[in-house]
Chain A
Amino acid sequence: MILAVLDDSPAALDMLAFTQSLGRQVEVATFAAFDTGDPDDLAKRGVRTLHRITHDELADRAPAASGDALAQLIGHLRPDGVLAVSSDGITEAMAHVAAVTGLPLATNCVEVSTGDPWLLTRVRGGGMLLEESELHVGAADSAASMALLTIAQGVTGDIGAGPVESCEVREFVPDLSETTQARVVERASRGSGMTLATAPVIVSGGRGVGSAEGYRVLEELAERLGGVVGCSRVATNNGWRPHSDQVGLTGTKVTPDLYLACGISGATQHWVGCMDSKVIMAINTDPEAPLVRRATYAVIGDVHEVLPAIIEELNARSKT
């Protein structure tokens, strides 16, 4: 049996289909804090058993508690493998599971085949490289023989499993008495405003923008196009923009309809953060800049000339 650990993100159902495509019996585990919807929907997706990890304190305890709870469920169920979604929270819980069980953990996998060893392909550096690896999980008769993996977002299976009559929900109450007492003391919700992660258009600036003031024209254009401003790591390091605007490996990974890259050369660290945008348009004085070559569309020129001209053109057309 393989245990699929899901949260309530849309990617979770893709992950379930991926897990089912491995051709083994699949049961689902989740934390009670997640609204994974109606168990009947899981039955339609071929899931007979949903394990819900329930504990009053789980939501406020440090991540080690979620990891310990999951490790206890896994110890109880003894699946051959545990495949989890790769959200920050679940990945962190899986790392705790790996730490307390002493098992290896392969994160961010995009291809998996079961066996001895398991063979997998995982993403490194946010998409910079792919790594093919073997996951040796120890002798089959050992109590500690189990494959732990997290599956990269966006990976899905060709066919899920056929529907079953019903999905049984089993509550699992972990014992957290031995777990760290560290806990959440403060929470704040994000405002409802548009963020890099949700904006349909991102007007992003790099070294070529030249200064903090230089971003005014990017802000104006972003507002005209119903989007937000982003930036490269150079802009953050120079103090031109806050880190929350940074797109890239160590900033935010974005997937807008349009990524307008202004004066960004496109080092790998930046590229992996914007490469999944639907359309990339690059404005740069250097026709050989990596991002200019990899973009869908390019304009060769100085952002300080091109952007005001685009705004002027937009204004002219909206008047007619």
Chain B
Amino acid sequence: MEVLVCVKRVPAPGAKVPLTDDATEIDTRYLGHTIGPHEECAVEEAVRIVKAHGGSTTVLAVGPGAADEQLRYAIAMGADRGVLVDVGAAELDPQATAAAITHAIGDTRYDLVLFGTESADASHYQVGIRVARALGLPIVGGIKGIEFDSDGDGTADSAADSADSDASSDHTVRLRREVADGVEVYRVPLPAAAAVKEGLNLPRYPSMPGRLKAKKARIDVVPYTPEPGGLRKVRLRQPNDDREEAIVLGHGAAAAPAVVDTLEQIGVIS
């Protein structure tokens, strides 16, 4: 099973989200960076799939050279290799990001390509779908469960599958997601893509041997000059937050009567 996971280097803001003077980017001078939470789950899932089925995991990031840090983190989690599509520091629009990923994949064949459903910072909700459609892969978004029909431990499942016998049942994947009124499971032929959501699994913290391996791992750098798409960011701004300071009801256990008074006032209890 060859698995590709696309990850994005995003700022890890605390309580405030500072902007640069020209308000076009988040000011990251004093912020760390991270892999978006949905994509961190995608890396974890890929590592588990490869452990169970063999093969290897490739992680790919489109971004500045510094995205090397996120690729090495994914390798420390258990991915095998990294590909950095170096497009410089400016944020790309989603069409350009998708084109960069599609270019980097080229003719390489992966059985499964994983994305996050939306990036943690820009939230465009479309890059994975654009790449999958460009590559002719089926894709389902919002995925919180991935199972292979050929999984040895799924005997009950396998019996059910042979009933609605499908010649390709050994080469399909079941993708589960939550929808407004419940859960739906798609059966998708491989090769396939999925856009996943946090909650798919609980990502591991990289081990010390993992971190050492990641330090030395090879990262292939693909230079790429993006063509801008039609959505052009002009500037960012903070949402209005004209809230007043909190009313302090008290300290410690002694605050309980004031809390219950307030619960009555706002109608939560009668």
Contacts and interface: CB of A to CB of B under 8 A. Distances in A.
A124 B121 contact: yes
Interface residues of A, number: 97
Interface string B3-46: 00000000001111101000000100000000001100000000
Interface stretch (A16-24, A44-52, A73-81, A304-312): A304-312
A48 B263 CA distance: 48
A126 B140 CA distance: 21
Nearest to A266: B15
Interface in A117-172: 117, 123-138, 150
A309 to B, nearest CB: 4
B233 interface: yes
A200 B263 CA distance: 12
Question: Chain A interface mostly helix, strand, loop or mixed?
Answer: mixed
Interface string B157-193: 0000000000000000010000111111111110010
B236 A95 contact: no
Nearest to A68: B133
A137 B95 CA distance: 13
Contact of A186 (B93, B140, B184, B231): B184
A131 B233 contact: yes
Nearest to A300: B251
B186 A182 contact: yes
Given A107-B124, A124-B121, A133 B37 contact: no
Given A125-B121, A257-B268, A63 B141 contact: yes
A207 interface: no
Interface string B121-137: 11111100110111000
A267 B15 contact: yes
A319 interface: no
B238 A306 contact: no
B154 interface: no
A87 B185 CA distance: 19
A239 B37 contact: no
Contacts of B182: 187-190
Contacts of B15: 265-268, 271, 290
A243 B229 CA distance: 35
A185 B124 contact: no
A250 interface: yes
Contacts of A237: 202
A185 B174 contact: yes
B82 interface: no
Given A129-B238, A189-B181, A293-B246, A250 B37 contact: yes
A188 B145 CA distance: 14
Contact of A313 (B121, B126, B256): B256
Contacts of A244: 199
Closest 10 CB pairs of A and B: A104-B230, A290-B15, A243-B199, A309-B253, A99-B133, A309-B256, A301-B252, A95-B126, A186-B185, A298-B246
Interface of B: 13-17, 19, 26, 37-38, 93-95, 98, 120-126, 129-130, 132-134, 138-142, 174, 179-189, 192, 197-199, 202, 229-239, 241, 243, 245-257, 259-260, 262-263, 266-269
